[in-house]
Amino acid sequence: MSNPGSVAIDSELEGRTARSAALPRLNRRQHTLLSSLLAALLLVGIIAGGMLISSDKVATNLELRNLSPSLEYPFGTDWLGRDMFARTLKGLTLSLGVGVAAAFASVMIALGFGMMAATLGRVVDAIISWLVDLFLSLPHLVTLILIAFSLGGGVKGVVIGVALTHWPSLTRIIRAEIMQVRSAEFVQVSRRLGRSRWWVATQHMLPHLVPQFFVGFLLLFPHAILHEAGVTFLGFGLSPHQPAIGIILSESMRYLSTGMWWLAFFPGLSLLIMVRAFDILGDNIRKLIDPHSAHE
């Protein structure tokens, strides 16, 4: 004689199994597309929020100073009564702009050096390889601080500093890709037909570098944003009058001992979330472009 309790448990388990089997399971490609879409929506939301927030939200209001996080002020207010949520969105938007310029400039340097190393002979290849090894042997942050300080800081100093310190790794990847394409049969046929090096590079090699260019840009973006925030935090980056995340974190350090933890916690967490979103987006696009994992 069967136990009624065990029968009920078995029927419930069968029902759960049937429901789980009925739900569609996402494969790796669908999961990658979904996570990429969510990361892109988050980044678009940050940009839209930073652009739509008026300057009145970050204006000084001493009557609202030192307020802890609440529904009206999710990130609280600072010692001047400024809305920290609005300041954080403004700072993230500014960091995005600096990161776009720095990452694009760095990728263009890597693209130019990579193509020169692979197409202009052994002497040029040896010189560029030596430059890559030299820059990779130097600490990024120290070199970036020296370049930004020598250029007077500001947006120009940070963009040039990040661009001049983040190109070597991508240069190696682009050089290896061009070396592989250069030995292809269609490239050899074009050379036998009398095509110039410039024609072969622009018509055959450059189209193969578009995926590496785009993925490299997205993967360099988090490094550019974090280094910009780090240099600004140390006082060698953007102006203190600009609502940059590095400035916000630097100013909040003196108030942490008074219990105003939200001044550093929420801006720092928001910066990490934005950087992680770009990291996920770049890594997922690399997986979609990669022929070995695109159809899994």
Boundaries of every domain in the chain: 90-296
C-alpha to C-alpha distances, 202 to 37, 68, 112, 120, 295, nearest whole angstrom:
32, 57, 12, 14, 29
CA distance 280 to 218: 9
Name the CATH superfamily, with its identifier, for domain 90-296.
Answer: MetI-like (1.10.3720.10)
pLDDT on residue 21 = 44
In the chain, count of helices (H) and strands (E)? 12, 0
* Angle in degrees, 0-180, between the axes of helices 84-119 and 28-52, rounded to the nearest 10: 120
Model pTM greater than 0.75?
A: no
pLDDT on residue 16 = 52
CA distance 266 to 67: 14
pLDDT on residue 295 = 47
Tokens standing for residue 19: 């429901």
CA distance 258 to 117: 56
pLDDT on residue 294 = 46
pLDDT tens for the chain, 296 residues long, are 445 545 444 555 455 554 444 445 655 666 677 777 887 788 788 778 777 777 777 777 788 888 888 888 888 888 888 888 888 888 888 888 888 888 888 888 888 888 887 777 788 888 888 888 888 888 877 888 888 888 877 788 888 888 888 888 888 888 887 877 777 777 777 777 777 777 777 777 777 777 777 777 777 877 788 888 888 887 777 777 777 788 888 888 888 878 888 888 888 888 888 888 877 777 777 766 665 554 44
